[in-house]
């Protein structure tokens, strides 16, 4: 990316700020595989406190956080009830099947589903069936366009999950966005889940890092699986310091990303050949449905210095983040208008 490029492919493309780099440089570290890194400990305690869980574990990626949690909850052959296009199902290289032996059952809806959907899909243990054991929720939901779960619907899903004897996992890679957009705390949004994953390297702007949070016994299991999967890190306090800085300084500002996404959506909604469901623009993601191949538009925009993603044949995704301000969004709208004109 040149300095002139505007990159709206993802909220993962941010570069650490000077202040974050200073926090990294100043971090106190130790060998975290031996449990010696005080900065990692501080990050884990901070996130457990934020999410209202007994414990949390620092891991390299959101994928690892999700898959450690699911490995702790799923037995080979179990069914995992999941929303449409859930990241843990479609975008983690089949890890749920490969590493936990879980098989997925997709529920109706746009990625969000209801307690009635969970009840309808639940199959009691029997001689032939694969037992439904886990329900996985994604909030915000990436491929549905960063949409937020309704809190009452979420509470009902969690309640029915437990009533039926199952456990619930929350992929909260962008839970920070949901919290800022709704005014509910992360702890409120995570309430009742057996395992929760959160990412520091998406909207929050840290270079690396995610956490899985749960009760102490589950985190002890995740800790063992983390080492098994090659995720034990040594002087990881350098990365944890970036995460702590991100939590302190970059959470509240997510409102700016949300306002910029709305600005982009409203500007693009009027463009010929573009359809946008404005009601689905709830956080920092905008989905544009086009009357032409999205890959062609991506290529034309890129040639002019605007990076976007084609996430389906005629669907383009724009994601706002720490490194794009309002002026960059205004320029992006101009570049996109040119790129859309064949």
Ligand X SMILES: Cc1ncc(COP(=O)(O)O)c(C=O)c1O
The contact set with ligand X (CB under 6 A) reads: 61-63, 66, 87, 138, 142, 171, 173, 199, 201, 210
Backbone angles phi, psi at 328, to 5 degrees: -65, -35
Q: Are 78 and 134 in contact (CB under 8 A)?
A: yes
79 or 177, CB closer to ligand X?
Answer: 177
Q: 142 or 282, CB closer to ligand X?
A: 142
Of 37 and 138, the one with the shorter C-beta distance to ligand X is 138
Tell me the C-alpha distance between 263 and 168, whole Å. Answer: 35
- Beta partners for residue 274, in sequence order: 290
> Taking the complex as a whole, how short is the minimal distance between the CB of residue 292 and ligand X, in angstroms?
26
Report the residue number, 210 or 218, with the smaller CB distance to ligand X: 210
The count of other CB atoms within 10 Å of the CB of residue 325 is: 12
What's the min distance (Å) between Cβ of 188 and ligand X? Answer: 19
Query: Closest CB to ligand X among 62 and 145?
Result: 62
Q: How far is the CB of 249 from ligand X (least distance, A)?
A: 20
| Cα-Cα-Cα-Cα dihedral sign, residues 10, 16, 18, 20 | positive
Which residues, including other chains, have CB under 8 Å from residue 308's CB and lie 6 or more apart?
8, 9, 297, 298, 301, 302, 316, 317, 318, 336
Q: Residue 63 CB, nearest distance to ligand X (Å)?
A: 3
Q: What is the DSSP letter of 326?
A: H
Dist CA 34 CA 40 (whole Å): 12
Question: Minimum CB separation from ligand X for residue 176, in Å?
Answer: 12
Helix (DSSP H) and strand (DSSP E) numbers for the chain: 14, 13
| Tokens, residue 77 | 């052959």
Between 196 and 267, name the residue whose CB sits nearer to ligand X.
196
Distance, CA of 29 to CA of 20 (rounded, Å): 16
Q: Which is nearer to ligand X, 122 or 143 (CB)?
A: 143
Cβ-based neighbour number of residue 167 at 10 Å: 21
The three-state secondary structure class of 45 is: helix
Where b means 16+ CB within 10 Å and e means fewer, 252-261 reads: eebebbbebb
**Cβ closer to ligand X: 61 or 314?**
61
Q: How far is the CB of 197 from ligand X (least distance, A)?
A: 7
- Residue whose token pair is 């199959």: 123
């Amino acid at each position: 990316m040149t300095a002139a490029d505007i990159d709206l492919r993802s909220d993962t493309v941010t570069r650490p700020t000077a202040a974050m780099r200073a926090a990294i440089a100043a971090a106190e570290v130790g060998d975290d595989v031996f449990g010696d890194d005080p900065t990692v400990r501080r990050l884990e305690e901070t996130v457990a406190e934020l999410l209202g869980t007994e414990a949390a574990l620092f891991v390299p990626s959101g994928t690892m956080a999700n898959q450690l949690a699911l490995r702790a909850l799923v037995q080979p052959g179990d069914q995992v009830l999941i929303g449409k296009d859930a990241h843990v199902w479609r975008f983690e290289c089949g890890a749920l099947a490969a590493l936990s032996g879980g098989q997925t059952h997709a529920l109706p809806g746009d990625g969000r589903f209801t307690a009635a959907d969970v009840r309808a899909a639940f199959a009691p243990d029997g001689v032939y069936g694969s037992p439904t054991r886990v329900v996985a929720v994604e909030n915000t939901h990436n491929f549905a366009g960063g949409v937020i779960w309704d809190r009452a619907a979420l509470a009902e899903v969690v309640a029915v999950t437990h009533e039926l004897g199952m456990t619930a996992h929350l992929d909260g890679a962008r839970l920070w966005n949901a919290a800022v957009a709704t005014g509910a705390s992360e702890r409120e949004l995570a309430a009742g889940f057996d395992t929760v994953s959160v990412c520091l390297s998406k909207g929050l702007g840290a270079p690396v890092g995610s956490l899985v949070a749960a009760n102490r016994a589950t985190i002890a299991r995740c800790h063992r699986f983390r080492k098994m999967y090659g995720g034990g890190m040594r002087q990881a306090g350098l990365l944890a310091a970036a995460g702590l800085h991100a939590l302190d300084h970059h959470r509240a500002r997510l409102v700016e990303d949300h306002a910029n996404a709305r600005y982009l959506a409203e500007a693009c909604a009027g463009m010929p050949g573009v359809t946008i469901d404005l009601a689905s623009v709830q956080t920092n993601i905008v989905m544009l449905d086009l009357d032409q191949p999205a890959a062609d538009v991506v290529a034309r925009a890129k040639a002019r210095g605007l990076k976007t993603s084609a996430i389906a044949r005629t669907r383009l995704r724009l994601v706002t983040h720490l490194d794009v301000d309002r002026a960059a969004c205004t320029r992006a709208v101009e570049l996109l208008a040119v790129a859309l004109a064949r």
